[in-house]
Amino acid sequence: MRYKQILLGLILFVLLGGFLQITGKFHFFYIEQLQLFQFSEDYLADKISSPGGLSLIIGEFLTQFFITPYAGPFIIAAILTSIGLTMREIILQINPNKELFLLYLLPVLFLLLIQYDFNYLVQGTIAFLFCLISLNAWMRIKDPCYRLSAALVITPLLFWIGGPIAGLFSLSVVLKEAISRSKQGFYFLAVLIEYLFIGIGSVWSTTITSYRFAFLPDAFYHPILAAPNLIYFAWVCLPLSLIGAFVYPKGKNQSKKKTGIELTVQFILILFLCWVTIPRYNDQKAYPLKVLDYYARTEQWDEIIRHCHGPIKNYLYLTYLNRALAEKGELADRMFAFDQHGPQGLLASWNKTFTVSTLLSDAYFTLGEIALSQEMAFEGYVTVIGAGNPRNLQRLVQTNLIYGTYPIAEKYISILEKTYAYHDWAKRHRGFLYNDKAIEADPVLGPKRKALPKESNLSGINGLEHDLLIRAEQDPENQLPIQFTGAIYLLSKDMKAFQRLIEKYYGTPVLPSLPVSFQEAVILLAEKDVDYWKRFNVSGNVIRKFAGYRNLVVQNRNNPQLPQLIKKSFGDTYWSYYTLK
């Protein structure tokens, strides 16, 4: 029996871990940054003192390792395997002669699916495991008096460990006694009543802010969002599995044929449920964003560019792409080789979420707009579920070092020094504190400080283009501000503003030469004025390419396939964008 248990556990662990690794490795990289576990007494004391505190600490402790490849999928696989095996022990205590794996795998399936929702806390899965361990241990107590006493003790203890999961435990206790037709079953209602008093009391005392956090798994979801129905499925499965195990026939001497049929039917049902639920709930629509986010976080710009070929219908994806091009110094030369859709693709609209706040903070940092980067980093820091996140804290360290506000930077560094994955980074950046020369010599911080506006002003009050041009004039060696401004005008098809820009700055240190897309736009400004082209030194390659473009348009003026022909032969040019978008 023990070897069978071990074999089942190994098979389940490998299957779950492999599935999560294949379908969700970037998801786990993404959710790692949504917690800020700290190895400090103050942090632990604050968490442990609240209902569900222990499971929260364990959940955040484990989540911090998700930044390591393979760690996230296989940590979750280990937890889910433990849940499956513990459920099996519970089911076998009710119906010891049957292998009802359908009943004990259903909670595993639904808990597996909820992992793909980045607003869900690993704490919820940890709490569910604690509930099952407690229930399994409680069911092994034979004496009714001891069993009742144990349940009354476990319920408040489990409330401290896992919050509302104690309610699921107390309900399961009452249900188990009811289906067992115990003579003392009526007394076990005291366990459920006890939990009702605990839950109501915690809300009245403001220990918990809402009844749904005291009694429902909503406590394991982002507090300002409505939890999806999926979060309740595993909770519903537990009492239903207890009932199912009780009502299922308990025949001992069953033929091998009938046993085989039972196992086959269960296996088919599990496969069917997986086939129906996994495509619906594994959130593959958001997965490309998590992939791009990981590559942006690790500064793998070529990988971002590689993933953005083909149609792009999402402004967030375009913002990742255009930031990658900007970091490589290729924005103004290559941006129209991709599926651009207006200036919103340069900087997506802010919607106050962690994802967009962090993306904009990174994009503004690349641009050198440090004030806006700092503002978005702070917004991203405070919008996550827990007590902050390390990624935006790193950005706040950098921006405060650039500004020279060293006491604030030191405070943030001290927090990061108490983490697992960011300790070394924080230690390196401590060397910049109160050391202007070190900052000015740093390849990241130095240029950003050099480009800070010499006069104090409110960022963005006169428009981003205004701020960018001030910085372009102040630091002409940095071509990104002027090129980004031109990109805004071109993507907006604001040709008059673009013309004013190049006529003012071309030939100066701010814009000594025109990038490819700017040259293509110059031709559109004066299609028949070759002298105007020469004024801006439009290259022969661009001129020859435009001749081919114009011939194609003239020869196919009445051809309904003209847009497709332009896209096929000149889809990487500004002329194609200006004509077709």
**Digit-coded pLDDT (tens) for 39-54:** 999 999 989 989 999 9
Task: Give the number of other Cβ atoms within 10 Å of residue 163's Cβ.
Answer: 29
Question: Worst-scoring range by mean pLDDT, 162-171, 276-285, 449-458?
Answer: 449-458
DSSP string over 267-288: HHHHHHHHHHHHHHHS-TTSHH
Only one residue has tokens 């069953």, namely: 254
In this prediction, residue 25 carries a pLDDT of 94
Dist CA 419 CA 390 (whole Å): 9
Helices 423-430 + 406-416 axis angle, to 10: 150
Q: Say if CB 318 and CB 336 are below 8 A apart.
A: no
Give domain limits for the chain. Answer: 1-248, 462-578
- Residue 535 CB neighbours (<10 A): 15
CB atoms within 10 A of CB 31: 23
Q: Answer left, alpha or beta for residue 255, where phi above 0 means left and psi between -120 and 50 means alpha.
A: beta
Give the pair of three-digit tokens for residue 23.
């379908």
Mean pLDDT of the 376-402 span: 92
pLDDT for res 306: 96
Side chain identity at residue 176, one-letter code: K
Mean pLDDT of 466-488: 93
Which two three-digit tokens encode residue 258? Answer: 């009938």
**Which phi and psi (to 5°) does residue 393 adopt?**
-65, -35
pLDDT at 459: 58
Distance in angstroms (rounded) separating the CA atoms of residues 533 and 483 = 19
Q: What is the pLDDT of residue 140?
A: 94
| Percent of residues, the chain, with pLDDT higher than 90 | 79
pLDDT tens-digit profile of 58-98? 999 999 999 999 999 999 999 999 999 999 999 999 988 88
> In angstroms, rounded to a whole number, what is the distance separating the alpha carbons of residues 113 and 24?
11
Reported confidence tier of residue 184, pLDDT bands at 50, 70, 90: confident
Mean predicted confidence (pLDDT) in 27-47:
93
The separation between the first and the last C-alpha atoms of the chain, rounded to the nearest angstrom, is 67
The whole-angstrom separation of Cα 284 and Cα 438 is 44
What does the pLDDT read at residue 263? 85
Mean pLDDT, rounded, for 350-372 = 95
Summarised one tens digit per residue, pLDDT across range 480-528 is 999 999 999 999 999 999 999 999 999 999 999 999 999 999 999 999 8
Residue 161 has pLDDT above 60, yes or no: yes
d(CA 252, CA 561): 74
pLDDT value at residue 155? 96
**Residue among 219, 59, 31, 57 at smallest CA distance from 116:** 31
pLDDT in tens, 516-566: 999 999 999 999 899 999 999 999 999 999 999 999 988 998 888 988 999
Task: Report pLDDT for 251.
Answer: 67
Interatomic CA distance for residues 492 and 460, integer angstroms: 18
For residue 66, what pLDDT is reported? Answer: 97
Q: Provide the angle, in degrees to the nearest 10, between the axes of the packed helices 287-297 and 2-32.
A: 70
pLDDT-derived band at 456, boundaries 50, 70, 90:
low
Averaged pLDDT of the chain:
93
Model confidence at 253, pLDDT cuts 50, 70, 90, reads low
Query: What is the rounded average pLDDT of the residues 258-266?
Result: 85
Mark out the alpha helices in 338-463 (DSSP H runs): 354-367, 370-382, 390-403, 406-416, 423-430, 436-441, 445-450
Half-sphere exposure of 52 (CA within 13 A, CB side): 31
pLDDT band at 411 (very low <50, low <70, confident <90, very high): very high
Nearest to 205 by CA among 193, 215, 197: 197
Using CA atoms of 496, 499, 500, 504 in order, give the dihedral in degrees to the nearest 10.
180
Token pair of 260, please? 């085989």
Whether 7 has a pLDDT exceeding 80, the answer reads yes
CA nearest neighbour of 270 among 22, 95, 90, 12: 12
Could you tell me if 36 and 388 are in contact, meaning their C-beta atoms sit under 8 angstroms apart? yes
